[in-house]
């Protein structure tokens, strides 16, 4: 398994390849050894997509081959572990655990998840760990484990009850468990503090060496030049490495030369100023150094003038050099080409900022050195002060660290606490970073005092050797996993949760960890069943990312450990070696993964560490408050330096140098990235997900859920829509529902179902849970920091989880007629759960009564209006009962509809009922926002009622004419949901003559008395739209008219009209009839017999027109432009104006082309016909039309 070929294949898996391995493991059957053939049924057997070379690797599974089901157990410490234990027990009683393919856990959810995983793994294997799985029968989700103590619960569950206080199973201050806790903290803190002090001592000695070296004449100038050059070079290299998407001007060759010249100028200026300063020729610099503290500190520090000058002169000359660069950039800002300015500006800016930073850092260290020298010279001569410093220093530091820890828990680990305007709210963002910086400064001053005292005693060399020895020993001997609190925390968790499934877990047992408690992650690959596959979610800390902008300030990326492999973001690889080796391809133990996933209190904590500041990270590492785990990156881990430089991760943690894309990653609590364990299930495109949200949230702000929704939308484009309000307690402190359902909208178009359950009270809890709530007001949202549960507290949370599972899922199972024991029945179960627990819209119960009353009124009108044909079409059941239909046809299910077209009376009588029905539909649509919520189960009856009406042929006949009376959003909704035709297609143009019936549009025009006289060359064209009944053309209705004039020019025949002579009846505006008429005119004009090659419209542009008239003309212009019309050039416009004025007797200004009118023209392409030509008989047609209309 660990060959080079296997490692190379596993290293290039990516997220798709890892998911393929996971699904193969999930589908493993009893009797099939690991690595056997894929399942023959092909249910979810899936291989990664083969992508062309150069295509970027996917970040998530976009197209799964089958429905996947996921169970997510959130973080929340032992509260989450205990509640989720009850939830798992409830699901097992209802036989629902077999539905899920994945078990995704974070932090406390991982405790009980690992317990369940280890229990199933050990039950699926024989005594020999290398034996094959049982060949006959797949063990149940909760293995059969009868109690050896005669109890009602299995031994593993009873073991968890015994270890409810898992950090100190045996209460009391003087027992071995308490002693072990204290000794573990002391053993972890003292070595790390010594390592920190040694490193600081080396840093102080190195700084003092530089400061004293600067005093040594010419050699000091060289040293200062080297120091400045190194800082500018290292800063630029680091900047270019981090700014992967840096500015082109800054990264170009010109930008590089600009930076080199600016840096050379800065180094030269620094040397010159330092030379002047050393000889007392720089009064301004002397004043600047005085401001930095030289003159003031002379009264406090030992009289050492040259040393004081050396302390502050570098800072002074660096600030002066930066000021000179600022002045230089100002003086030469107008020189050079404008294209050169950005490169020079950015280069000078980087040099200036680094000089200022170097000066501030040097001055700060110098001030600390003066404080340490003052303490070292004056105080260390007192034996009492020495004893106080030695004994009280760590106590004081520990006290300050405890205060910081308290503040950190209060301000950062409880994000749901409301932000109340005031001093406290304003102090939160700066309180912990500021206090942490103060503690670090105190540390530094103490170390400098120690160095100063050693100098006076002549002990600098022994101090240096001691500090160097401790640092080297830390680097090569300080194993970060064994010498920190991680090892203690892991042993406690493994004893409590993994040791529960050992064969003798029911008997009296030691509280100390056993060697057999833990087991390798790869051992889970041999267990049966593998479903659900356990995903242990962690946060891969990214405090020093390669690109901080792409990191979005998150401070971490998602990481997953499972039985088949490891992933960090979308980079993944499978395990290639057995055991728990930290070599490349090795897997950690289940206990180590579980502990890392629950390392909430850690030196590196993702976004929390970014908010708390680098000083807090430094202190957390210095006191060894480290629960996280360092592990090689799944695809980038190369070499084995972490096997011999075991202490290097300690220093990387101390300075916040963790990188998610580095060779090794620092794993901590998954809640530092996403606390619901939902993110990785969405990455795997699970369509059906059950989430247990047990994070502390007393204010019911749902912070963890909001964070998860944002992350999956930003990273995968997945939108989760859910109403969480039923989970919020009302005035009586009780919630309306134990669980809510929502929808998962994947960008590929498919949707899924999300069920969310959380600890909440509904008033029907068991008596013991109610009693515990009475005595503990914070229940069920007690502090996550409380890890010391007693029997009553533990049982209250466990029983609440079991009770909520029964309350949420039993009603669903009663409605189903099949047992839900495997994923094949899971989709139906989740669909029923969605119908049951999707929250009703607020106030819907009251509105529903009004809707029901309105629907009854419409039904009454339908019966009383005499529209019997429409009644039979809407309620087809009456048709089957009233008409004599052969029984054979009824049995065949052949729908019976009238074979003849409706009579005019049937059409007329149906109009009023259709209008009332549409008004009712519009009211419901607007009140309930059906365009967003129409798939809610509560609206199923209303949508079915709408469907009855919209499928009736008489309703569909009237729809194209009635839709203009309603909002376009409502009309689009009906057309999209019920396949109603828009009524814009199928119309045609006809000439109007006096022998025909006036038609609908002509009658409306005549009523408005706007029918213009028909003169020579004028013709009247109408737009007729077919009305269809049951898909067949029944009638043509005249919907629009235009009075146009015909003429000829060099381009051919011209059909033109005034925009006021284009008429659509007011009741049909906004229905697209105007656009349809114009398109039909274009089609009509393509006929060569019409003699038309261009369409033109004249829009009067009067300066004195009213605002309403100008708005109407502008809307008309938009209509024509959107239909392919465009404005001609000025010469063509004047020709059209002269022609129009002669044909219409317009004003002289229009005849001269000096008017403000607008012409829009559309060319008519020739029809694809064999015969070409343009017969010009327009004048005869004009005369004919005129005679008909006279």
Q: Each residue of 1095-1116: pLDDT tens digit?
A: 999 988 776 778 888 888 888 8
Confidence label for 672 from pLDDT (cuts 50, 70 and 90):
very high
* Mean pLDDT comparison of 434-443, 559-568, 873-882, 1012-1021, highest-scoring range: 559-568
Confidence label for 139 from pLDDT (cuts 50, 70 and 90):
low
Least confident of 534-543, 857-866, 966-975: 857-866
Question: How confident is the model over 252-304, as pLDDT tens digits?
Answer: 555 677 788 888 888 888 888 777 766 654 444 455 445 444 444 444 344 45
Percent of the chain at pLDDT exceeding 70? 74
Residue 982 structure tokens:
């828009």
Q: What is the pLDDT of residue 468?
A: 93
Q: What is the pLDDT of residue 148?
A: 55
The string over 962-972, giving b where at least 16 C-beta atoms fall within 10 Å of a residue's C-beta and e elsewhere, is bbbebeeebbe
Element of type H or E holding 450: helix 423-456
Question: How confident is the model over 632-662, as pLDDT tens digits?
Answer: 888 887 655 566 788 888 999 999 989 888 8
Q: What is the DSSP string of 270-315?
A: HHHHHHHHHTT--HHHHHHHHHTTHHHHTTTS-S-HHHHHHHHHHH
Considering Cα of 407, then 412, then 416, then 420, what sign does the dihedral take? positive
Beta bridge partners of 565: 574
Residue among 715, 672, 654, 704 at smallest CA distance from 541: 672
Beta bridge partners of 102: 70, 533
Per-residue pLDDT at 534 exceeds 70: yes
Residue 697 structure tokens:
């949230």
Q: Is the peptide bond before 780 cis (omega within 30 degrees of 0)?
A: yes
Contact 966, 958 (CB under 8 A): no
Query: Rounded CA gap, 281 and 277, in Å?
Result: 6
Question: How confident is the model over 774-802, as pLDDT tens digits?
Answer: 999 889 988 877 778 889 999 999 999 99
Q: What is the pLDDT of residue 246?
A: 46
Q: What is the pLDDT of residue 311?
A: 73
Contact 46, 35 (CB under 8 A): no
Average pLDDT score over residue span 78-85: 95
Tell me, letter by letter, the H, E, C secondary structure of 989-1009.
Answer: EEECCCCCCCHHHHHHHHHCC
Average pLDDT score over residue span 762-769: 93
Q: Is the peptide bond before 213 cis (omega within 30 degrees of 0)?
A: no
Per-residue pLDDT at 847 exceeds 80: yes
Tell me, letter by letter, the H, E, C secondary structure of 165-187.
Answer: CCCCCCCCCCCHHHHHHHHHHHH
962 secondary structure, DSSP code: H
Which has more confidence, 1171 or 1105?
Answer: 1105
Beta bridge partners of 742: 722, 754
Confidence label for 1150 from pLDDT (cuts 50, 70 and 90):
low
Query: Rounded CA gap, 602 and 960, in Å?
Result: 67
Describe the crossing of helices 77-93 and 155-162 by its angle, rounded to 10 degrees.
Answer: 160
Q: What is the DSSP string of 388-399?
A: IIIIIHHHHHHH
Query: Rounded CA gap, 1024 and 250, in Å?
Result: 67
Confidence label for 313 from pLDDT (cuts 50, 70 and 90):
confident
- Residue with tokens 């106080």, as numbered in its chain: 388
Q: What is the pLDDT of residue 1001?
A: 84
Q: What is the pTM of this model?
A: 0.79
Per-residue pLDDT at 933 exceeds 90: no
Contact 599, 593 (CB under 8 A): no
- Residue with tokens 């119960």, as numbered in its chain: 845
Which has more confidence, 123 or 391?
Answer: 123
Which has more confidence, 1049 or 329?
Answer: 329
Average pLDDT score over residue span 613-622: 90
All residues at 6 or more sequence positions from 996 whose CB lies less than 8 Å from its CB, including other chains: none
Confidence label for 541 from pLDDT (cuts 50, 70 and 90):
very high
Least confident of 234-238, 288-292, 570-574, 745-749: 288-292
Query: Rounded CA gap, 310 and 224, in Å?
Result: 11
Q: What is the pLDDT of residue 52?
A: 46
Average pLDDT score over residue span 418-422: 47
What CATH number should be reported for the domain whose range is 988-1189?
Answer: 3.40.630.30
Q: What is the pLDDT of residue 230?
A: 85
Q: Where are the domains of the chain?
A: 67-107+686-839, 215-378, 844-978, 988-1189
Per-residue pLDDT at 604 exceeds 80: yes
Average pLDDT score over residue span 690-701: 89
Which has more confidence, 1016 or 245?
Answer: 1016
Percent of the chain at pLDDT exceeding 90? 27
Which has more confidence, 36 or 547?
Answer: 547
Residue among 984, 1005, 1185 at smallest CA distance from 1090: 1185
Which has more confidence, 260 or 417?
Answer: 260
Query: Rounded CA gap, 357 and 351, in Å?
Result: 10
Average pLDDT score over residue span 936-945: 90
Query: Rounded CA gap, 237 and 1082, in Å?
Result: 67
Question: How confident is the model over 186-225, as pLDDT tens digits?
Answer: 888 888 889 999 999 998 888 888 877 776 666 778 888 8
Instruction: Report the length, in residues, of the chain.
Output: 1190
Which has more confidence, 1140 or 1188?
Answer: 1140
- Residue with tokens 């600016």, as numbered in its chain: 262
Contact 533, 29 (CB under 8 A): no
User: Euclidean distance between the first and final Cα of the chain, in Å?
Assistant: 99
Residue among 964, 862, 872, 878 at smallest CA distance from 914: 862
- Residue with tokens 């057995």, as numbered in its chain: 578
Mean of the per-residue pLDDT values of the chain: 79
Residue among 566, 562, 597 at smallest CA distance from 584: 566
Strands (E), 509-551: 533-541
Q: What is the pLDDT of residue 1178?
A: 38
Query: Rounded CA gap, 1024 and 25, in Å?
Result: 66
Question: How confident is the model over 346-379, as pLDDT tens digits?
Answer: 788 888 888 888 888 888 888 888 777 777 655 5
Question: How confident is the model over 20-79, as pLDDT tens digits?
Answer: 999 988 876 544 433 333 333 334 544 554 444 445 568 888 888 788 999 999 999 999
Average pLDDT score over residue span 128-156: 60
């Amino acid at each position: 398994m660990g060959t080079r070929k296997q490692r190379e294949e596993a290293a290039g898996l990516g997220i798709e390849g890892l998911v393929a391995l996971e699904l193969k493991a999930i589908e493993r059957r009893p009797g099939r050894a690991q690595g056997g053939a894929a399942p023959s049924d092909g249910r979810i057997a899936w291989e990664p997509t083969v992508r062309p070379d150069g295509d970027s690797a996917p970040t998530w599974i976009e197209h799964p081959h089958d429905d996947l089901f996921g169970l997510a157990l959130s973080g929340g410490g032992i509260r989450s572990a205990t509640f989720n234990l009850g939830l798992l027990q409830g699901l097992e009683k209802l036989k629902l655990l077999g539905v899920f393919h994945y078990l995704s856990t974070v932090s406390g959810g991982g405790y009980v998840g690992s317990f369940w995983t280890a229990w199933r793994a050990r039950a699926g294997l024989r005594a020999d760990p290398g034996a094959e799985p049982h060949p006959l029968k797949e063990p149940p989700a909760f293995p059969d484990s009868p109690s050896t103590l005669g109890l009602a619960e299995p031994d593993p569950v009873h073991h968890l009850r015994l270890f409810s206080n898992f950090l100190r199973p045996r209460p009391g201050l003087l027992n071995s468990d308490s002693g072990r806790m204290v000794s573990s903290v002391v053993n972890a803190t003292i070595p790390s503090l010594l390592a920190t002090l040694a490193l600081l001592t080396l840093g102080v000695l190195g700084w003092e060496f530089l400061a004293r070296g600067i005093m040594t004449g010419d050699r000091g100038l060289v040293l200062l030049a080297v120091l400045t050059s190194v800082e500018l070079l290292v800063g630029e290299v680091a900047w270019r490495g981090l700014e992967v998407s840096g500015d082109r001007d800054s990264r170009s060759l010109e930008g590089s030369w600009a930076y080199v010249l600016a840096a050379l100028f800065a180094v030269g200026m620094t040397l010159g100023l330092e030379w002047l300063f050393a000889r007392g020729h720089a009064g301004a610099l002397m004043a600047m150094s005085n401001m930095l503290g030289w003159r003031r500190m002379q009264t406090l520090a030992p009289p050492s003038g040259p040393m004081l000058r050396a302390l502050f002169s570098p800072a002074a000359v660096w600030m002066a050099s930066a000021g000179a660069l600022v002045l230089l950039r100002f003086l030469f800002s107008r020189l050079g080409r404008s294209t050169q300015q950005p490169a020079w500006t950015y280069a000078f800016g980087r040099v200036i900022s680094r000089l200022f930073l170097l000066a501030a850092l040097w001055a700060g260290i110098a001030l600390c050195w003066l404080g340490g020298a003052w303490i070292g010279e004056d105080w260390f001569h007192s034996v009492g002060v020495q004893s106080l410093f030695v004994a009280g220093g760590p106590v004081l530091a520990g006290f300050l660290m405890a205060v910081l820890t308290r503040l950190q828990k209060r301000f950062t680990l409880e994000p749901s606490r409301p932000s109340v305007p005031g001093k406290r709210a304003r102090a939160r963002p700066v309180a912990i970073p500021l206090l942490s910086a103060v503690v670090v400064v105190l540390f530094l001053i103490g170390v400098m005092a120690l160095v100063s005292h050693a100098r006076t005693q002549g002990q600098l060399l022994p101090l240096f050797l001691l500090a160097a020895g401790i640092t080297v020993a830390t680097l090569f001997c300080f194993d970060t996993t064994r010498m920190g609190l991680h090892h203690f925390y892991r042993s406690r968790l493994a004893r409590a949760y993994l040791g529960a499934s050992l064969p003798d877990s029911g008997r009296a047992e030691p509280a100390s960890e056993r060697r057999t408690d833990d087991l390798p992650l790869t051992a889970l690959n041999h267990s049966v069943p593998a479903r659900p596959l356990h995903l242990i979610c962690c946060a891969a800390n990214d405090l020093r990312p390669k690109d901080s902008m792409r990191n979005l300030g998150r401070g971490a990326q998602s990481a997953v450990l499972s039985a088949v492999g490891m992933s960090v973001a979308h980079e993944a690889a499978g395990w290639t070696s057995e055991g728990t080796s930290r070599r490349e391809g090795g897997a950690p133990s289940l206990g180590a993964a579980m502990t890392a996933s629950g390392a909430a209190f850690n030196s590196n904590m993702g976004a929390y560490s970014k908010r708390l500041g680098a000083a807090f990270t430094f202190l957390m590492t210095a006191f060894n408050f480290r629960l996280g785990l360092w592990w090689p990156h799944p695809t980038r881990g190369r070499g084995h330096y972490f096997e011999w430089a075991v202490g290097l991760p300690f220093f990387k943690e101390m300075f916040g140098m963790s990188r998610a894309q580095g060779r090794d990653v620092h794993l901590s609590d998954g809640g530092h990235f996403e606390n619901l364990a939902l993110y990785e299930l969405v990455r795997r495109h699970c369509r059906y997900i059950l989430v247990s949200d047990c994070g502390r949230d007393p204010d019911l702000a749902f912070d963890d859920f909001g964070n998860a929704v944002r992350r999956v939308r930003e990273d995968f484009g997945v939108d989760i829509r859910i109403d969480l309000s039923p989970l919020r307690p009302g005035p009586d402190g009780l919630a309306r529902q134990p669980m809510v359902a929502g929808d998962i909208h994947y960008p590929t178009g498919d949707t899924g179902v999300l069920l969310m359950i959380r600890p909440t009270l509904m008033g029907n809890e068991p008596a013991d849970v109610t009693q515990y709530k009475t005595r503990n007001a914070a229940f069920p949202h007690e502090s996550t920091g409380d890890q010391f549960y007693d029997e009553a507290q533990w049982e209250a949370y466990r029983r609440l989880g079991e009770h909520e599972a029964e309350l949420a899922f039993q009603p669903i199972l009663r409605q189903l007629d099949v047992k839900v024991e495997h994923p094949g029945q899971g989709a139906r179960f989740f669909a029923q759960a969605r119908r049951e627990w999707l929250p009703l819209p607020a106030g819907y119960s009251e509105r529903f009564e009004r809707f029901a009353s309105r629907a009854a009124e419409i039904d009454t009108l339908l019966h009383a209006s005499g529209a019997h044909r429409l009644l039979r079409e809407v309620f087809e059941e009456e048709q089957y009962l009233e008409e004599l239909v052969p029984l054979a046809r009824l049995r065949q299910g052949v729908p019976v509809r009238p074979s003849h077209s409706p009579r005019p009376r049937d059409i007329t009588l149906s109009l009023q009922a259709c209008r009332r029905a549409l008004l009712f539909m519009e009211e419901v649509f607007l009140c309930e926002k059906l365009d967003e919520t129409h798939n809610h189960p509560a609206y199923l009856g209303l949508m079915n009622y709408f469907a009855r009406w919209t499928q009736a042929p008489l309703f569909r006949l009237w729809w194209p004419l009635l839709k203009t009376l309603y909002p376009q959003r409502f009309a689009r909704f009906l057309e999209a949901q019920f396949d109603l035709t828009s009524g814009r297609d199928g119309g045609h143009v006809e000439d109007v003559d006096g022998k025909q019936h006036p038609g609908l549009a002509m009658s409306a025009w005549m009523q408005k008395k706007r029918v213009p006289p028909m003169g020579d060359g004028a013709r009247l064209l109408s737009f007729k739209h077919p009305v269809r009944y049951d898909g067949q053309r029944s009638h043509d209705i005249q919907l629009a008219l235009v009075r146009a004039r015909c003429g000829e020019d060099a381009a051919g025949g011209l059909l033109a009209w005034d925009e006021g002579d284009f008429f659509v009846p007011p009741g049909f505006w906004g229905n697209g009839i105007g656009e349809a008429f114009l398109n039909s005119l274009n089609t009509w004009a393509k006929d060569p017999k019409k003699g038309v090659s261009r369409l033109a419209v004249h829009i009067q542009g009067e300066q004195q027109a009213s605002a309403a008239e100008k708005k109407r003309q502008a809307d008309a212009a938009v209509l024509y432009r959107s239909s392919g019309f465009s404005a001609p050039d000025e010469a063509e416009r004047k020709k059209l104006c002269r022609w129009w004025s002669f044909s219409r007797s317009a004003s002289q200004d229009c005849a001269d082309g000096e008017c403000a009118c607008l012409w829009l023209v559309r060319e008519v392409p020739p029809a694809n016909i064999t015969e070409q030509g343009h017969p010009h008989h327009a004048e005869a047609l004009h005369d004919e039309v005129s005679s008909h209309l006279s």
